[in-house]
Each structure stands twice: as C-alpha cells, then as structure tokens.
Chain A
Amino acid sequence: MATTTNTLLLESTDLFDDSLSISNTSTCYKAGTTIGLDQTTGLTRLYATSETQFDPFPVVKGATNAAENGKVYIANLSEDETEFITIGIGDAVIGKLYAGDFLWMPWSPKLQHVNDIEITPSVATGINIEYMSIHNYANIYPDSVDS
C-alpha cells in the first residue's frame, strides 16, 4: 500500500464581511478500507489541438470497477481566460474548467462507456491539460482503448 494525502485550502478575505478559510486533508484509501490506493496513471500533460472529446482514463470493455473508488485530478493549464475544457461523465456534463482551474473528485468507473470521464477542449489552437488518477482499478489506462 501507499500513503497519498490530498489537501484543499479554500480562502477568501473579501467574499464575505468575514474571512473564509476552509482546510481539509484526507488520505487516498481503497473503498471501505484504510488501505492506501496503490496505482496511478501518473500525471499526464497533454497539448490538445482539437475540439474533439477524448477519454483521459479509458475503461476497457468488460472491466468492472464499480465497487472501487479512486481519485481524479484534472487541470486546465491555459493562461487565456477565454479558453476552457468541458468535463463530462457518461452522458452528463459536470462543468467547465477555465484557464487555471482544476478539479478533484472521486470516481467509481462502471462498465465501459457508462460513466467514462470525458474532456472536450473549447479551442483547436492548442491547450495544455494535466490529469491524473490515483486508483486501484482493473483494466484502465494505459492498457485499454475506448471510442
């Protein structure tokens, strides 16, 4: 097992009359245990030059990971405030990450194509995207293909 910690700091001095300061730290465990997640896709940096949707973490046909619970990190590294990436899951849109934005969320992949994570860049002129999953899934990136 591995020990991977994740920390979030949410801060603002002018959103309210009083300051906002939220701090959370947790450890990445396998679902329902205190055993650390022990696999990762690694931190990928992609220069996307198409507005075509793609799967950063393809789920291979036949894989069943619904009982697992990994973590997903995605960041839009663009410095152009008008550029965004749309993050989807299956048929749903989670939302848009504009330049500099990131997300961190749990992910329990179901069967292939059911709740695959999707990224769609807003421009074809080139946009840098970072993504990583910390997990214990079977049959997922990089030894799988999707469509």
Chain B
Amino acid sequence: MATINATINVNSADLTSSALALSRTMTMTKAGTKTGLEFTSGLVRRKLTAVTTIDLVTVGEQMYGTPTASAANKLYIKNTGSSSTDSIAIAIGDKDSDAGEELLATSGNSKITLGNLYGGEWMLIPFEGTANNDIIVTPSTAEATTIEWMLFFE
C-alpha cells in the first residue's frame, strides 16, 4: 500500500461578507478499508490539436493495469494552458456520442457533460470505471491544448 494525500484549499476574502477558508485533506484508500491505493496510471500528458472528442480515460484493461470498477478510484485532470477563453469540455460516456445528446445509456453512443476546464484549472473526482463510463474530452479550439491526467486506482 501507499500513502497518497490530496489537500484542497479554497479561499476568498470577498465572495461573501465573511471570508471563506476551506481546507480538507484526504488519504486515498481502497473501498471500505483503511488501506491505501497502490496503483496509478502515472502522470499522463497529451497535446490535442483538433476540436474532436476523444476518450481520455477508458475503462477496463489498460497498459497500466485494470482499475477495479465501482471502487474508490480517483482521477486528476488539469488543463495546463493559460487561456481564459479556450477550454476542454469534460464528459462521461462514449467519444462517438451525438454532440447534442445528454443522456447516458448502459451501452452505445451517449454521454453526460460535467463542465469545462479553462487554462490552469484542475479537477479531482472519483472514477467509477464501469462500462460506458469513459472520461471523454473535447477541446474548444484546434490550437494546441495540453492536458495532464493521473488515475489512482485499486
């Protein structure tokens, strides 16, 4: 097992009339245990140069192992750019989905959009890893957009 810690800090002096200072640390553990996650995809870096939807993180067997589905896996994604206008849309589903569709079937071409990561933004979410739950991304521009991601899994 390994000890992997993730700490988030969210701060604002003027979002509300009282200052916001949120801080939380989690240690990534296997589902239902106090045993640390021990596998990872490694930090992956990809450069995208087309406004084309791709599978960023696919479920099932991979080069780096086979993440257990419905477990306590965690996924980190960052848009490494600096643009405030260019983004990557993050969705769950299939890369061949209808661009306008927002439904998720248990199979076939469908997706649900979470949101967008603009330059410098990051996200950290649990990763379900069941069928048809690929993480798919679509850049907003054909100019080079570089993404980093890392999966921690059991």
Contact = CB atoms under 8 A, between A and B. Distances in A.
- A and B form one complex: yes
Interface of A: 2-15, 20, 22, 24, 26, 29, 31-34, 36-38, 40, 42-43, 69-70, 73, 75, 81-82, 84, 87, 89-98, 100-108, 110, 114-115, 132, 134
Per DSSP, chain A at the interface is strand
B116 A69 contact: yes
A95 to B, nearest CB: 3
A73 B116 contact: no
Interface of B: 2-16, 20, 22, 24, 26-29, 31-34, 38, 40, 43, 70-76, 78, 84-85, 87, 90, 92-93, 102-105, 112-118, 120-130, 133, 150
B45 to A, nearest CB: 12
Nearest to A101: B26
B12 A5 contact: yes
A8 B124 contact: yes
B24 A40 contact: no
B7 A38 contact: no
A73 B22 contact: yes
Interface centre among B10, B38, B123, by most A CB within 10 Å?
B10
Given A8-B8, A8-B124, A84-B31, A98 B72 contact: yes
Given A5-B12, A93-B130, A96-B72, A108 B103 contact: no
- 8 pairs of A and B residues whose beta carbons are closest in the complex: A95-B126, A106-B115, A4-B12, A91-B104, A2-B15, A15-B2, A92-B112, A92-B104
Nearest to B7: A9
Contacts of A87: 125-126
Given A15-B38, A29-B118, A94-B128, A43 B22 contact: yes
A36 B10 CA distance: 14
A96 B154 CA distance: 13
B6 A100 contact: no
A14 B5 CA distance: 11
A69 B84 CA distance: 12
B5 to A, nearest CB: 5
Contacts of B33: 81
Contacts of A7: 7-11
B126 A101 contact: yes
A101 B102 contact: no
Contact of B133 (A38, A73, A93): A93
Given A89-B112, A102-B8, 9 more contacts: A3-B12, A8-B124, A10-B124, A26-B122, A93-B133, A95-B129, A96-B71, A101-B26, A114-B112
